[in-house]
Amino acid sequence: MRTTAAVCGAITLIVLVGCSNTDDGDGPVPAAAAPADASTTPAPDPAPAAKKIGHAHRWEASVDGLTAAGSTTVLSYEQPAKGASSPGDGLGLTDPQWAVVEVKVCNTGPDHISASQSPWTLAFPDDTRAQTTGLNGGDLPKPEFPTLDTPVRAGDCLRGKIPFAVEHGIRPDRIMYTPGESEPVEWTVPAK
């Protein structure tokens, strides 16, 4: 039992901290860098282009001999969420409504991984972000993506909807997935 817990814990660490992008071909291939002049500061690497909804982010990582690989995909974005009552006053918004992101995480590696709502945020044009509320149940859109770390076996996928409380009529421009200390992966939210 302790071995299983240690393996699951290490794989959770791999998924949340050690994921590296294995580009799925959506972006341009960078040109070889020329030697930098000693008097100049190299420019930072540009951020990868945001993906379109429906396009998968493929990733793989290895930590302490354990391997994790898979894909993460935003399947849809809906605002306002149909069928859900207002988020209410307790979330600090003046005129709140629910927005819902449907996501799918697939495990193509040999070991278990964990998935949850915590790496997901909405990014707005004014440089603000909305995190998940951690709420579930009630009349929130189904199927719900788990709020807590949930194991995903090798060869399995997990799909569900993540609710976000947002101001009525204020639409994000990006959906961000940031597992642990990894670089964020972004999907563009289409205009209404």
pLDDT above 80 for 7: no
Q: Which two tokens stand for residue 98?
A: 């629910």
Beta bridge partners of 97: 166
Nearest to 109 by CA among 67, 150, 71, 72: 67
Residue 43: what pLDDT?
Answer: 59
Beta bridge partners of 158: 105
- 16/31 Cα distance (integer angstroms): 30
Residue 65: what pLDDT?
Answer: 83
Name the more confident of 160 and 182.
160
pLDDT above 90 for 32: no
What's the mean pLDDT when you consider all of the chain? 82
Q: How far apart are the first and last CA of the chain?
A: 50
2-22+49-188: which CATH architecture? Sandwich (2.60)
Name the more confident of 20 and 61.
61
Give CA torsion, residues 175, 74, 135, 84, to 10 deg.
100
Q: Which percentage of the chain shows pLDDT scores above 70?
A: 76
- 177/121 Cα distance (integer angstroms): 7
Q: Which two tokens stand for residue 8?
A: 């699951």
Residue 11: what pLDDT?
Answer: 46
pTM of the model: 0.77
Q: Which distant-in-sequence residues (6+ apart) come within 8 Å of 78 by Cβ?
A: 99, 100, 102, 141
Nearest to 178 by CA among 7, 21, 25: 21
